[in-house]
Amino acid sequence: MGDAAFWLVALAFAVGGGGWLAFRSLHVARLVEDTPTSRVRSAAQGYVELGGRCRPLEGSPNLAPLTGRPCVWWRYRIQRRQSTGSSKNRRTQWQTVHSGRSEQPFVLEDETGQCLVHPTGAEVLTGESTTWYGDTPWPAKAPGSAGFRFGQGDYRYFEERIYEHEHAVVLGQFRTVTSSGQRDVDAEVGAMLAEWKQDQAALAERYDTDRDGRVSLEEWEHARAAARDAVVRRNLERPTTPAVHVVGRPDGRQLFLIAAVDQQALARRYRRRAAVAFVGFAAATYALAWLLQGMFG
């Protein structure tokens, strides 16, 4: 492929990518601004925006893998320096050799209640990130530890974190899970009747009202009604399990976003991203037009 053809393809991709990124970033900014922030206790079932403080699940600590710092969510990347080309045209690039992100649920809490956040599949913006260098495939020293040195190394480590008590905005699918609607009463009635059938004498003693030695169809219906009443009473006597609020990835193509910033700062961040992408789109469009004019007159 010649130089002109290469730049033609590269600029075409830049125009398409810049335009898409500008449109999407502006769309997300408007979505954040136009979606009212709901309270956990009064949030409607479905797509919502929530805001609150983060904290880990009770008894489930989450440690960032590179720095070992306690947090509620992390993402890391380890890159290795690679050099290509001759001594005169030597180029250096970074190749990712390890990466990962936290999938462990955490709690989002506001003044009205709390909900469980499942971060799988979310677009995440953090308030803090750390980049440092070293000479080993896995960092031997974390930033700020004894023996840590600045400067370039053969490996570059990058880690983002959301800390406990940090404020976060979440846009996702909200649902409330309760135990009451999950009981299969018919199955429990069937299990109780099966248990009664194992003692035919006791069953006949209780429900063979005409004393003919067998439980007729009509008498069996009385037994079934009694079993259902017993199951309902037993379920009412069981301690009620509090409702659990959960927010996660929407079923459709709606945005699932977790951001460790407030709503206004989040909208401004996406508007800046849209502006930068639009400038790149305009520059790539101008360069592509100039190239096409030079190629075809």
The string of pLDDT tens digits covering residues 20-29 is 888 888 888 8
What are the distances in angstroms from CA 217 to CA 194, 211, 227, 241, 290? 16, 14, 15, 38, 90
The residue ranges of every structural domain in the chain are: 3-178+243-296, 180-237
CB atoms within 10 A of CB 287: 15
Q: How high is the pLDDT of residue 150?
A: 55
CB atoms within 10 A of CB 55: 16
**pLDDT for residue 254 is more than 80:** yes
Rg (CA), the chain: 31
Q: Contact at 8 Å (CB) between 117 and 105?
A: yes
Residues 56-77, mean pLDDT to the nearest whole number: 92
pTM: 0.70
Q: Report the run of H or E that residue 289 belongs to, with start and end.
A: helix 263-296
Q: How high is the pLDDT of residue 106?
A: 96
Pairing verdict, β 113-117 and 37-38: unpaired
% pLDDT > 90, the chain = 36
Angle, CA 116 vertex, CA 125 and CA 244 arms, to 5°:
160
157: Cβ–Cβ under 8 A, 6 or more apart, which residues? 66, 76, 77, 78, 79, 130, 131, 132, 133, 134, 139
Q: How high is the pLDDT of residue 297?
A: 59
